[in-house]
Structure 1
Amino acid sequence: MSYAVAALVDIDDYVASSQVQGQVWARRQLRRADRAVHAAASGRPGVTCRPQPPEEWLVLLTGADPEALMSEAAALAEEVRARIVRETAWTATVSLGLPSLAHGEAEREARRSNDYKLVLGGDRVIAPAAARPALTARPSPGGAACPPVGLTPPVRIEEELTRRVRAGDRNGAAGLLAGWVDRCAAERDADPRTLRNWLIGQLLFVVDTVNRSRLADGSTDWVEACARLPIEDIVTVGDIHERSYLHIWLRDTLARLMPPPPRTDILAMAEAYLAEHYADPGLRLATVAEAVCASPFYISHLFAEERSTTFLRHLTGLRLRHARRLLTTSALPIDVIAARSGYPSAKALRGAFRRHVGCSPTEYRRAGIRH
């Protein structure tokens, strides 16, 4: 009787590194990785190696003793990982399946282990028992593994996600979801299926937030809403076992789901935020940009393009307008007016008046100028 054990060699962060370094670089690294895998497999009796493009290799070990096969597979996996680290710019994950009498089932076992790369991370050997402790301990009545029940995400992000989605901040929403996925994956009882279910739930939440169409009773028109998230996209989540690639996929998916807000809307939100918070001495461009879910550069660009001014000039105008009003309508001391106008001291207010008004606050008050 002959058994088979499969070892699936999977390059870590292949898509992300290829996007950064380019396809020419990636192809060169793949050739080096291919030589490393074949070198580790060669000379071992009963071992075959088959590439699984673009960045995987299936190594199959056969023999009569399943325990000896598992031991040999573990040693081979460590050697492959070490060679790839030494001979390429990459790391790799090698996932092992349980011994099987059928080669096809041996490969499926290895791929089931490799699925746990999504929650365990890369640069490791994933053994069957380590990958699926909860599943192997709790078989379903039909004999198939079933996921843990009753698990809920460790943190909820719907409130912040809603804010970013409604602001049209696609990158911010994608970053929030990516960080949330990483946090959920770190949970002790997390498994790939549960993590994907949670993520699909969040994506449907985004779809519902973006969709403005409602039925007559006020409920969501899910027929129209789900047209934004095709079933193929949901199915794709089930094929992703690389966290870095999941982050890329989230960014691309949210770019399709969320229409960018008109630039005038972003500028209006920034101006409204400034009008409400200009009295805060610590107010900065970065603060406003974060509040309206846009980059500081883009906010600066909008003020220059749409208002022919700068962010700082606009903020200074708001502060001085309020200071002038207090100077001519109250007897408040200069230091109190400075604090209420967003300046850290009377000296700072005097400096701003000299530069922009041409006189001191006291002189302005004595002149009784009304604005």
Structure 2
Amino acid sequence: MNIEYKKKLWFYKTLFSYLPVFFLVTSILFLILFLAFSENIKKTTTKSNEFFVMQINQSVNNILSPVEKMVVNEMLTNGTLNRSFEAEDLQKYDIYEISKALKKLILNFPIIESAYIYYQGNRLVISDSVFTPLEQFSDQAFIEEQLSERQIGSSWTGRRMYTDVRKNDTQSVVSLVKKYPFHTGSQGLVVINIRVDTVQAMVAEMSSLETGVVHIFDGEGSFILSTEQSASTAYRAADVDDAYAKSTSDYTGWEVYSGFQNGRMFAFFAVFPYFWVVLGLVSIGVGAIWIIFITRRNYKPIETIMKRLNETFSLKNRDLFAKGNPDEIRFIELAIVDLMEQANKFQSRQEEDLIRIRKGFFKETVEGNRPIELEEWKHEMRRLGLKETFDKIAFNVLEIDKYYEFTAVYSDKDQYLLKFILNSVVQEIAQNHGIHAWTEWLSNERLGILYMIDDPDEEAAKISSQKIRQMPENYISWIKDNLKFTATVGIGGETDQIDDVPDLYESAMQALKYKPIFGNDRVIHPEELLAKPKTEIFNHVEFVGTLAHTYRSGNPTWHSQYQAFFQNLRSGMFPREDIVSIIHYFLYYLDRSMNELSNKLRESWQQRTMPALAELLDRFETLEEFEKRSYPLLESMSDEIQRQRDNQNNNQMIHDVRQYIDENYASPDLSLNLLSRTYNLSPSYLSQLFKDEFGEKFVDYLVGIRIEKAKKLLQNTSEPIQDIANKVGYLHAFSFIRAFKKLVGKTPGEFRK
């Protein structure tokens, strides 16, 4: 130890040489400064006290003001609360909802001791736990006193006694009184009670100095609370020392006084002014400790905020602190920004929910998923902020043409923008015609348009109906002139009953099913569907087999038959699903027939032509479109088949064989053996060449020709079946009938009928 002390001897000498000079100089400077600025300190202390009392006043306002704002918000936005003031008789459910709202208010603001609502119409009081007549309510006198006053708007009372019957407890409270309605207060009032002890504890926490005291009086000078334990309720504002700083609240009208107990602070300055010289020296020693203590005490609010934020953002702390290693203030700022973002997201989610609810109700109304009565319709429309009254309703469906191309050309963002434009254009055109239109997207490509005519005058209603019939043409014209795609509108009709809307929707959708017949970029009226006669689909199904056979065999007449096939479909007035079924059956029949060709041709058909035709069948919208786009595919495949046949040996001979069959099909002696002898080939080889060339067996081809000729004779003549059988190469009628039924599916007699 001695050696260690000697090593630091110069340090201690230097230290003790400067310390006396330091203390002497600081003491002299402190004395001079004290004598020069003692009066200034007194003035500064007074100003600080005034600022402090303003802070307390503002803090009290900050405690009470949110309570009033929440009460006003509930009175303005709570539908049950608004209706209850105007209702002659409150239902149990309404009482429950009101009591629930009061409990929620007390839960949100723990400083609230109790709350109740008085209804002037039936003289009833509802609190968070009590429902009683005014005459049996413990606060009857206060209610009657408030009703007799003419003051309108915000009213925070002074200190008063309130007895809670449920708790069997009497407490000193201050009360917020809000009359309803605000401008008259004729229907009742809302009373919020806050315990004086609660406010006093908050004020005491802000004024923690033992020498400091805070008094609060109401606008009439009556005592409310004090941080001085000995203060009496009889204490009035007039009794407060003039040395106290005073601040009057513009919000509550309360007066806040702050000063030192019994004026001891400034008296001490006057009696013992020079004592502060010694006190200043002592302050140098204890200043550091005091600063640490005060800093720690002042840091507590920030520490409390940090603790709460840490609980709230327990999963996000690392993310927030990662942003530049922020201090506490920066962290609080980031947390507030995050809370604001969450609030904005919540508001956006609410708006999205409203849009989703509106769209869901629209679809329920038009699709008829559940019955909707008129009163329910009006209630939901009011809730959604939409027009509820009508004399007539009309409905249309606008469908984007070639939607698969629309999705391929435009990005998701552009699609959303274009659909928004379509929606806006429809509503703007309707608005320009004086018609209210409610529009919602029923699916990706279909926009439902519900028109509401509110013209009780019959002549005016006719004019509005005529406008509604004209507007779809305006939609089509505008889209064609301003956008790079087209649309088709299906007309649903009109009704004066809300439960008939699903029928209008079905009518409009039915009209759109005939787009393959009528085409795109137009308006389809239900009357047009009745104007053209419809044919039986069976006639076209029969023709499919003939067309597929002609195509597969390479007969060039398939071109004209293909055109005739689509011409017959156009004149048949079939809806889209029937047309798709017929074409699908044709492709199925053709695909099955093509499987009898060579491997190379089958592979080309299955990998190139058939997938392209299937995709076209899924996407086509008009018959003209399918015919124009499918014809090159079939023609290309037909050319490929023909090229392969031309490259094979004995091609001409096989064609001669087919020609021989076409000319001699009526001969009962025509057979594969006869042909093999005629052309000097073995029957098996001839059969193989025939199948490779034409895709079917010799026997099937011969039967097919005979049956086709027989069908024409059955249709165009009245000859007996036995004679027809002989003319097409059958010696026995039963053989002909069996072959005919196997190929056609009917007996000759049934076919003739």
TM-score (norm: length of structure 1): 0.46
When you count strand as a share of all residues, which structure comes out higher?
2
TM-score (norm: length of structure 2): 0.25
Report 1 or 2 for greater relative contact order, CA contacts < 8 Å, sequence distance ≥ 6. Answer: 1
Larger radius of gyration: 2
